[in-house]
Amino acid sequence: MNKQDITIVVLLFLGLLGWGYYQRRQALLNPPAPPAASAAAVAGSNRVDRVEPRVLTAASDTAPTTAPAPVAAAAVPATAKEPVRHERPEQTLLLTNAITGITVSSWGGGVTRVELSEYKATVASDSGPVILDLSSHPALSLVGLAGFSVDRDYELRYAPEGNAVLLTCSNATGLVLERRLELGDHYRLKMVDTFINRSEAPVALPEYALALGPMQAIQTKASTRGQTYLGLDTLEDKGGASVETWAKGEHWWKKTRGGLKSLPQLFGGSSGGCSRNRMPIDMMPLTVSQEVATPQTWVAAKNKFFVQIMAPEEPATSCMLQAARDPEAEHFAVNEVSAEVVLSSKVIAPGETLERGVAYYVGPKKFSILKTLGARQDEVMLYAWWGWFRWLCRVLLATLNGLYAVIPNYGVAIILLTAIVRILFWPITHKSTQSMKEMQKVQPLVKEIREKYKDKPQKMNQEVMALYKVHKINPMAGCLPIVVQMPVFIALFTVLRSAVELRFGSFLWIADLSEPEGLWAGAIPFPAGGINILPFFMAATMFWQQKLTPSGGDPQQQKMMQFMPLFMLFMFYSMPSALVLYWSVSQGFSIAQMLHSKRLTAKAEEGK
């Protein structure tokens, strides 16, 4: 490589490292000043406390003017908790299909437990299924509506038809709630709430909220340099609105009105600033919440592999986003998120009903399923940034899953995907190799020019470029394959870092492609996480490739490039095995191509 080529390669890899560093900085909290945290937030449970929304009890414009004044269905004050009034033991019923089981409780009429039978809880062969425990804040429970909250007893029974349960509860104003929860295909639950006014006066149903259960962080050994997997996503009910990922830095509440703070600021931090301004972690509140006061189409809470999405048929008037930090962690880390969607107030005339439907998804972040939900709910997959980049991520994931359908091993599928990528880029790589060989041939002439014009750098560069032009050499061709393949590499990085398909996927000695290998972890004292072999193989292939690559340019710069394998070894050592496997196999294909090209060149020279 010449000077320009080496500079571009270094800048590309430094850019990738800088991108990861920027992501990590966005996830850190650097507070300028302590926020005014609520007493409930500072008081100190690790569980996300429910935050009651504002209550509107004004009559609807459609209420008849001659009717009696509506009786307001009482709302729970924001500073008070409804007393526990469970008069009966908790009753639970289970809704199941082939892949999931959802437990519904008579205490509050919400979902307290979700069992995902297709996904193991651990990598052990005898592991049970993944269990999502939502009991601390049951999903679909009502918040802010007295007589129907999580502390009330509901009548619970199976529906006579369909895979559904029925729940019934009433309050002191004569308002009756009949709820139907029906489990559909995959991981979809359909909720229909029917409010019936059985009193003789209109009832003002205040603004209230539906809870989205808490999602806990998944512990991972993989180091992806600040990537945030635990987060909350929303889609504003506005034409052309984009999905907001409220997970890190300035992206938290960046479009809300009224000077609302970001979640990191509420914890006592901000997305920028110097580390010396960071608030001590023991001074940060354990839980925080923030209202997003714009209508929302859906709200999602997610971790690395699984997600809950709530999409009311009638868009929510606003939503409440909540988070809790890990009190045991030495450094700041959010370990739980949850949300509530706020529904508008209504007036229900005597004898009339009000029906509200909600679509609820609780399951894996699997694109093939999420894309069928509509309303851009598949974008919880972390395929952020530009439209073309999301398209590239989806194509790569679809190709990977298609290959897996033929050969059911994701390690083999990654190797085949790498082969396809290399074949597609073969013409560019071949042209680059030929160009570098031509550059190597003219290096004696380049050296003469540099010696002749060593005191005139501008003239030296002009003469070198003129020499390349005469010999029809493109000095940038050596870096063209890296430039073209970098978007593919970053897209694969985005896909593989949180693809639920790779979770616990094994290949040869690798037990989990979504994690580093971690061989002999616990059996050897150092390193504590075990040894990762694949990154060393990757570095060895890079070193071999450097030896096969036609050299040219400044010898000092070539020596500097010899450290690139060590640099990549450092970067990739704790990354998911799937990503390291892809890069290692890609290097292997490059070596094979160079050896083949070298063989053809030798034959051509023998034939002369």
Domain end, chosen from 328, 345, 380, is at 380
Q: Which two tokens stand for residue 504?
A: 């616990």
Does any domain span residue 413?
A: yes
Q: Say if residue 270 is in the same domain as residue 152.
A: yes
Cis check: omega of the bond before 285, within 30 degrees of 0: no
- pLDDT at residue 57 tops 80: no
Identify the DSSP state of 101: E
Does residue 422 have a pLDDT over 80? yes
Using the structure block, give the residue that is written with the tokens 């089981």.
101
Give Dmax over CA atoms of the chain in angstroms.
106
**Top-ranked range on mean pLDDT: pick from 341-350, 447-456, 533-542, 562-571:** 341-350
Q: Which domain holds residue 503?
A: 400-601
HSE-CB at 210 with a 13 A cutoff on CA atoms is 30
Please write the tens of the pLDDT for every residue from 207-234. 999 999 999 887 666 554 444 578 889 9
pTM check: above 0.85: no
- Of residues 391 and 142, which shows the higher confidence score? 142
> Are both 366 and 446 inside the same structural domain?
no
Give the pLDDT band (50/70/90) at residue 80: very low
Using the predicted structure, report yes or no on whether residue 528 has a pLDDT greater than 80: no
Q: Does residue 427 sit within a domain?
A: yes
The answer to whether residue 298 sits within a structural domain is yes
Q: Among 47-56, 435-444, 446-455, 593-602, where is mean pLDDT lowest? A: 47-56
pLDDT digits (tens, 9 = 90+) for 246-277: 765 333 333 333 344 444 555 655 443 333 34
Distance CA 420, CA 414 (A): 10
Rg (CA), the chain: 30
Domain stop point among 329, 345, 380: 380
410 and 375 assigned to the same domain: no
pLDDT band at 101; cut points 50, 70, 90: very high
Give percent above pLDDT 70 in the chain.
72
Statement to judge: residues 431 and 507 lie in one domain: yes
pLDDT at position 240, please?
80
Residues 507, 466: one domain? yes
- Hey, is 291 helix, strand or coil? strand
Distance CA 388, CA 390 (A): 5
How many Cα atoms are found within 13 Å in the side-chain-facing hemisphere of 400?
Answer: 25
Query: Do both 376 and 525 map to the same domain?
Result: no
Report yes or no on 73 lying in a domain: no
Co-location of 408 and 372 in the same domain:
no
**Among the three residues 332, 350, 380, which one is the final residue of a domain in this structure?**
380
Report residue 181: phi and psi, to 5°.
Answer: -115, 120
| 70 falls within a domain | no
Residue 599 has pLDDT above 90, yes or no: no
- Count of structural domains within the chain: 2
Rounded CA separation 503/118 (Å):
11
3-state SS class at 446: helix
Query: Is there a single domain that holds both residue 277 and residue 418?
Result: no
Mean pLDDT over the full length of the chain: 77
For residue 405, give both structure tokens. 């359908």
Please indicate, yes or no, whether residues 255 and 376 belong to a single structural domain of this protein.
Answer: yes
Alpha-carbon distance of 240 to 257, in angstroms, equals: 18
The answer to the question of residue 428 being in a domain is yes
What's the pLDDT band for 409 if we cut at 50, 70, 90? very high
Give the span between the Cα atoms of 149 and 420, in whole angstroms. Answer: 55
Is 436 found in the same domain as 289?
Answer: no
Instruction: Please say if the pLDDT value at position 43 is more than 60.
Output: no
- Shared domain for 273 and 415, answered yes or no, is no
CATH code, 198:
2.70.98.90
**Burial (Cβ within 10 Å: 0-12, 13-18, ≥19) of residue 534:** buried
64 or 390, which is more confident? 390
Task: For residue 140, give every residue at least 6 positions away whose Cβ sits within 8 Å of its Cβ, in sequence order, or none.
Answer: 109, 110, 111, 181, 189, 191, 210, 211, 310, 358, 360
User: Of residues 581 and 224, which shows the higher confidence score?
Assistant: 581
E strand or H helix at 4: helix 3-27
- pLDDT value for 234: 92
**Could you tell me if residue 501 is inside a domain?**
yes
- Do 301 and 404 fall within a single domain? no
Higher-pLDDT residue of 476 and 570 is 570
- Indicate whether 261 belongs to any domain: yes
